[in-house]
Amino acid sequence: MRDSLILRTTTRVIMPLLLLFSFFELLRGHNEPGGGFVGGLLAAGGLCLYMLAHGVDDARRVLRVDPRVLIGVGLLLALAAGLVPVFQGAPFLTGVWAENKVPGIGKVSTVLLFDVGVYLVVAGTTLLMVLSLAARDEEEDDPC
Amino acid sequence: MTDPLILIILVPFAATIVAPAVARRLGAHTGWVLALAPAIVFAYVSRLLPIEPGTAHTVAVPWVGSLGIEFAFLADGLSVTFLLLISGIGALVMIYASSYLGRDPRLGRFYVFLLAFMGAMLGLVLADNLITLFVFWELTSVCSYLLIGFDHEKAEARAAALKALLVTGLGGLLLLAGFLLMGIAGEQLGLSAIAAGKISGLAAVDLREHAYYHAIFILVLLGCITKSAQVPFHFWLPAAMAGPTPVSAYLHSATMVKAGIYLLARLSPHLGGTPEWGWTVGLIGLVTMLTGSLATLGQRDMKRVLAYSTLAVLGTLVMLLGVGTEMAVKTAVVYLVAHAMYKAALFMVAGNVDHETGTRELHRLGGLRKLMPWTALAGILAALSKAGAPPMFGFIGKEMLYTTKLTVENVGAWAVVASVVANVALVASALMVSVWPFLGKRGDTPKKPHEAPLAMVLGAVLLSLMGLGRGLMPQPFETNLGSAAASAILGRPVEMHLALWHGVDPTALAVLGLSLLTLTLGGGLYFLIRRRVAPVGPLLRRLFSVGPTQLYDLTLQGIYSGADRVTRFIQSGRLRFYVMVTMLVTVIVAGPPLVRAFMGGPAAANGGWRIHEIIVAALALTAALAATALRSRLATLALVGVVGTCMGLLFVFFSAPDLALTQVMIEVLSVVILVMVLHRLPLVIKRSGRLSRGRDAVVAAAVGITMTLFVLTVARVDRDPTVSDFYLEQSVPAAHGRNVVNVILVDFRAMDTLGEITVLGAAGLGVLALLRLRRKERS
Amino acid sequence: MLIFMAILIGVLYSTGVYLMLRRNVVKLIFGLFLLGHAANLLIFTVGGLVRARPPLAAVGADAPPPDVADPLPQALVLTAIVIGFALTSFFAVLAKRVFLATGTDDTDALKSTES
């Protein structure tokens, strides 16, 4: 399967598109169908596709970071989103919204930060499972 | 919180913290330092003397206010008597123990247990709230378990500790039930408050006239008699001799077994005075007294002789509390104090003999008087008190006992005879532990004996001298404490008058005659035993070899093997079995009510149908059914994927775009992961026969039908829309989001989501760990 | 439609349970997946089936129009789907590890705690 030229070429194009789409889903999730869960899964799906075409090592290289880091950062972001209101005297995880809109993203809020955390954890977990499973498979396929 | 009454309970517990460090530094001298804790308590409590009869000092700290549970404490004559015994004898035992255990590396642990036990006992006798009392009660059981089983590498000690724990623990549970009934009957959990109606708005409740009286009485009584080792629960006490001697000295004199006595005494004003109380408690005590006193004659191990004689005394005390007259109660107080002092002394003496000669077997002992003069002095004085010989404190106690028996109505001559028999046996056993080892010619001992160190002699000598002193001068005791203690048990103020010589009225002379008769007969009996004229020992041993111990062993065996069988049966280790049981239980429990509910109500609105919905549902249904039949793994995987995708479509049809997106993405990723997992897993082989497949199909179908009925029944119920409506209304104004589902996830219920992604991350790391494990194995 | 959904849920439960009662680890995994689907669909269905009215507010509106689908079961099911995916994946990997360690995929053979 890895030797399919068509697959390899198309995934090069499709993968970034899928990633982009996943960001889009993440950002619009508060108002339209989408959100961190769907976005994270889409991102993981895109990378999975890439992995299927180019192999685990290439996929890891494209990802740049260990999926475990994604999980950790995601959890920290979600936690931080919860702690911001605490410093303002509100209960843990209360939504805090910035006054001004950021172009392209809309209103920035701790809720969005939280959703980014969800996105990273979901993507990280899925990728961690898929990549480590695939790595093992390749390892066992090696004749040596 | 600053009330010293509470602080004195905390003192021993606080001392547990430093005990290990002290024990490491000081070794065999640890006791001198740690005895400060009980000494402080003793000193403080002594300052409360004299206690005015009928008065009490109370203090309460809220604990679980909503349930009426508070740390309520009460110090009256009865509590103070026990406080002094616990702390006074406690201090002497502390000093004794480190010398006895010497360089034992577990000394620190020992003192932690002992101090905790002491604290629990102090709390127990001070508690004025039923729950507080129960907590301390159980704490003493646990601590005594640790103390008796201190030599835990010995199987005998472990078994003895477990025995004590199981018997007293069983009693504790019954006691809790009794306490709760008392709380319900008295409408509050404060002990003194029930009788006094102290909390405003509540009337004073006389528990004796309440409908629950008999239940309360039986449950509480069982709690007390298990703790105090009354027949038929007496067997744990002699077994507890497996503990180190300082533990025996403490447990048998001032604590543990006395806790049951204390509680009976404490509850006498609340529950006592009825014919049921009198006969039941009295008879149990009588039987225990006779059992213990006769069994003691059959023993030849010093500690066991003492253990059985403890049973006899405990029985006597219970019997007296059962009789419950003013004379009986006063006798009980005197007897209790006298026994605590001489029994602690005698155990220390037995410990010294064991420690210095290497044996406790009477046959091998004799003539230690010259080699161990102080121990011998203490042993003989204490034994005189135990035998009830003048002028010891024990003599006063025995005189009062006979007076009680002779003056109480309804008690026939047989009770007097029983008391005399028991006391004759006690005299003989007193001689056995004093005359036998210390007088006569030298025995053949494993070690060459010499006098024990000061720490080990001090307590025994002090306690036995106090027995003499109190006998000669009983007045300070009666004015300071005795009257108040008796008053607390009786529930009304009384005066106590103690004397060695009662003048020449007929009763007093009869009593004196009985006393002299007892001493003479006891001496004669000892002579018979010593000269082996009569085979008393073997005979008695055979008589007491069958009894509740066997029942206990059988029960324990039965529980073990029963649990083994049950576990073997329900924990088969077969996953299929567990699934099957779970499913069957679900169907059997939930099925019939569901069928009834479904049949009984109107059908839920079906909501019409569209052709594309039916097609998708049918497709999912077919794929699921086919997935059960196929043997090809990839084909099955594809079918499961079809089911998932159909679910995504159904989510689309029924207004859940977020779910649809998620479901489809999950489906894709699941397939990827499953392909990689299934890779290299073996092909599916048919393992079950036609019969078991049929059986499984029936169970599975039953589960499916149950769930279908469940859906149809639940759909009929009108859901409470409050929460959902709140989310719908507040989503835009409060959370600035138009996608309500996502707003719920990341804002309204963000806490749940935070938990969820944590689980998610853990699952991912779990997978990684599982795979890494394999790699490590190979390398 | 409710009745069809109820039947579908029943069949998913049945097939899931049936597969879990097989002795093959592979079938067990598939059974878990089907059982997960069944549970998700159950919560979704008893939450009420509403056609073409997702719980979304229009741009500029203060609230979604009345009679939209209940968002609460949807939120519950969404998390359940993702969690279920993570856990079934974990289980699948565990099952494979067990197979590689013990050399058997017969669940009846996996009885003792020592290998």
- Report the number of distinct structural domains present in chain A: 1
Residue B438 per-residue DSSP state: H
Q: Is B661 a domain residue?
A: no
Q: Which residues pair with A109 in a beta bridge?
A: A97
| Structure confidence by residue, pLDDT tens digits, B631-648 | 788 888 999 999 999 999
> What ranges in B107-256 are assigned the alpha helix state H?
107-126, 130-148, 155-186, 191-196, 213-227, 236-239, 245-253
Number of C-alpha atoms within 13 angstroms, CB side, residue A119? 23
Residue B483 reports pLDDT greater than 50: yes
Q: Which domain holds residue A30?
A: 5-141
For testing contact with chain C, the best of B615, B631, B667, B728 (most C CBs within 10 A)? B728
**Segment B444-472, tens digit of pLDDT:** 777 788 888 888 889 899 989 888 888 88
Inter-residue contact B86 to B11 (CB < 8 Å)? no
By CA distance, what is C82's nearest residue in A? A37
The answer to whether residue B198 scores a pLDDT higher than 60 is no
The answer to whether residue C115 is domain-embedded is no
What total number of domains does chain C contain?
1
Contact (CB<8Å) B703/C14: yes
Tokens, residue B127: 């508690």
* CA nearest to C77 within chain B: B659
Indicate yes or no: CB of C86 within 8 angstroms of CB of A33: no
Q: Are B245 and B347 in contact (CB under 8 A)?
A: yes
Nearest CB to B774: which of C9, C89, C97? C97
**B228 contacts: CB under 8 Å, gap ≥ 6:** B257, B258, B259, B260, B261, B264, B314, B317, B318
Binned at pLDDT 50, 70 and 90, residue A73 comes out as: very high
Q: Is C26 contained in some domain?
A: yes
Predicted pLDDT of residue B397 = 85
Domain boundary among B471, B505, B534: B534
Task: Give the mean model confidence (pLDDT) for residues B122-127.
Answer: 91
Q: Does the pLDDT value for residue C10 go beyond 90? A: yes
Residue B31 lies in a domain: no
Q: Do B704 and C50 touch (CB under 8 A)?
A: no
**CB-nearest partner of C82 from A31, A37, A133:** A37
What number is the average pLDDT over the span A91-114?
A: 77
State the residue range of the domain holding C75.
Answer: 2-50+70-105
> With pLDDT > 70 as the criterion, what percentage of chain B qualifies?
94
Q: Which residues of B touch C55 (CB under 8 A)?
A: 655, 728, 739-741
Tell me if residue C66 falls in helix, strand or coil. coil
Statement: residue B661 has pLDDT above 50: yes
Question: Does residue B735 sit at the A interface (CB-CB below 8 Å)?
Answer: yes
Res. B778: pLDDT tops 60: no
Q: Could you tell me which chains touch chain B, where touching means 3 or more CB pairs under 8 A?
A: A, C
Quick check: C109 contacting B, CB < 8 Å?
A: no
Q: What pLDDT score was predicted for residue B541?
A: 66
Residues of C in contact with A32 (CB under 8 A): 56
pLDDT, residue A62, reads 87
Q: How far is A5 from chain C (nearest CA, A)?
A: 30
The pLDDT tens digits of the residues spanning B511-536 come to 888 888 888 898 888 888 887 766 66
C22, C70, C111 member nearest B724 (Cβ): C70
CA distance B614 to chain A (A): 25
Predicted confidence band of residue B775 (pLDDT cuts 50, 70, 90)? low
Asked whether residue B773 is domain-assigned, the answer is no
Q: Which residue has the higher pLDDT, B473 or C6?
A: C6
Q: Which of A31, A41, A118 sits opposite B757 (nearest CB)?
A: A118
Query: To the nearest whole number, what is the mean pLDDT of chain C?
Result: 86
What is the per-residue pLDDT for B86?
93
Q: Residue B89's pLDDT is what?
A: 93
Query: A82: which chain B residues are within 8 Å (Cβ-Cβ)?
Result: 750-751, 754
CA atoms within 13 A on the CB side of A29: 33
Q: Is B371 on the interface with C (CB under 8 A)?
A: no
Task: Tell me whether residues B761 and A71 touch, CB distance under 8 A.
Answer: yes
Tell me: pLDDT of B487 over 90.
no
How many angstroms separate the CA atoms of B650 and B717, rounded?
A: 22
Residue B217 scores a pLDDT above 60: yes
B543 shares its domain with B427: no
Q: Look at C93 and A32 and tell me if their CB atoms are within 8 Å.
A: no
Higher per-residue confidence, B502 vs B81:
B81
The DSSP annotation for A8-64 comes to: HHHHHHHHHHHHHHHHHHHHHTTTSS--HHHHHHHHHHHHHHHHHHH-HHHHHHHH-
Residue B741 falls inside a structural domain: no
User: Does residue C114 carry a pLDDT above 50?
Assistant: no
* Assigned domain for C60 exists: no
Query: Cβ of C17 and B704 within 8 Å?
Result: yes
Taking CA atoms, B14 is separated from B9, B118, B142, B231, in Å, by 9, 11, 18, 37
Does residue B337 surpass a pLDDT of 70?
yes
Read off the pLDDT band of C18 (50, 70, 90): very high
- Nearest-CA residue of chain C relative to A40? C82
CB contacts, 8 Å: B685 with chain C:
24
pLDDT, tens digit, 9 for 90 and up, residues A10-60: 888 888 888 999 988 888 888 888 888 999 999 999 998 888 888 888 888
Last residue of a domain, one of B549, B571, B593: B571
Among the three residues B508, B534, B560, which one is the final residue of a domain in this structure? B534
Q: Give the pLDDT mean for B485-498.
A: 84
Structure tokens at B710: 């469940």
Residue B200 confidence (pLDDT): 47
For an interface test with A, give the residue of B664, B744, B749, B757 to mutate (most A CBs within 10 A): B757
> Cα distance from B155 to chain C (closest Cα, Å)?
28
pLDDT at B253: 82
**Rounded mean pLDDT of A101-130?**
85
Q: What is the 8-class DSSP label of residue C67?
A: T
Q: Determine, for residues C17 and B759 on separate chains, whether the beta-carbon distance falls below 8 Å.
A: no
CA gap B120, B117 in Å, rounded: 5
Say if B767 is an interface residue toward chain A (CB within 8 Å). Answer: yes
pLDDT confidence bin for A143, thresholds 50/70/90 = very low
B402 close to B328: Cβ distance less than 8 angstroms: no
The pLDDT, as a whole number, for residue B546 is: 63
Contact A120/A73 with Cβ under 8 angstroms? yes
Whether B385 maps to a domain, the answer reads: yes
Q: Does C63 reside within a domain? A: no
Residue C115's pLDDT is 42
Instruction: Assess if residue B40 is contained within a domain.
Output: no
Q: Over the stretch B375-406, which tens digit does the pLDDT of each residue have?
A: 999 999 999 888 888 888 888 888 888 888 87
Please list every residue in chain A whose beta carbon sits closer than 8 Å to the beta carbon of residue C56: 31-33
CATH of the domain at C20: 1.10.287
B457 and B565 fall within a common domain: no
Whether the CB of A106 is below 8 Å from some CB of chain C: the reply is no
Q: Is residue B387 part of a domain?
A: yes
In this structure, of B193-197, B355-359, B579-583, B768-772, the range with the lowest mean pLDDT score is B193-197
User: What is the pLDDT, as a whole number, of residue C112?
Assistant: 60
What 3-state DSSP class applies to B212?
coil
Return the bridge partners of A101, or none.
A107
Q: Do C55 and B653 touch (CB under 8 A)?
A: no
pLDDT for res B534? 60
Q: What's the mean pLDDT when you consider all of chain A?
A: 84
Give the pLDDT score at B703.
Answer: 94
Of B36-45, B546-555, B605-614, B723-732, the least confident: B546-555
Distance separating alpha carbons of residues B770 and C14, to the nearest angstrom: 31
pLDDT at position B137 is 93
> How far is B672 from chain C, CA to nearest CA, in Å?
10
Residue among B255, B249, B221 nearest B141 (CA): B255
Angstrom distance (rounded) from CA A100 to CA A44: 32
pLDDT confidence of residue B774? 59
Q: What is the pLDDT of residue C15?
A: 95
**Widest CA span of chain C, in angstroms?**
64
Whether pLDDT at B510 is above 60 = yes
Same-domain check for residues B403 and B502: yes
Say what the pLDDT of residue B545 is. Answer: 62
In this predicted model, what pLDDT tens digit does every residue of B583-640 receive, in sequence order?
Answer: 999 999 988 988 888 888 777 777 788 899 999 999 999 999 999 888 788 888 999 9
Q: Which residues of A touch B674 (CB under 8 A)?
A: none
Residue in chain A lying closest to C88 (CA): A129
User: Which residue in chain C is spatially nearest to B619 when comparing CA positions?
Assistant: C8
DSSP state, residue A99: E
Count of structural domains, chain B: 2
Tokens 């990839």 sit on residue: B634
| Model pLDDT, residue A142 | 45
Q: Is residue C110 part of a domain?
A: no
Counting one residue from chain A and one from chain C, the pairs whose CB atoms sit within 8 A come to 16
Residue with token string 């008295």: B186
Comparing B332 with B496, the larger pLDDT belongs to B332
Q: Which residues of A touch C82 (CB under 8 A)?
A: 37, 41, 122
Q: Assess contact for B519 and B389: CB atoms under 8 A.
A: yes
Tell me, yes or no, if C46 comes closer than 8 A to chain A by beta carbon.
no
pLDDT digits (tens, 9 = 90+) for B236-263: 888 888 888 888 888 888 888 899 999 9
Domain containing B561: what range? 538-571
Q: What is the pLDDT of residue B777?
A: 58
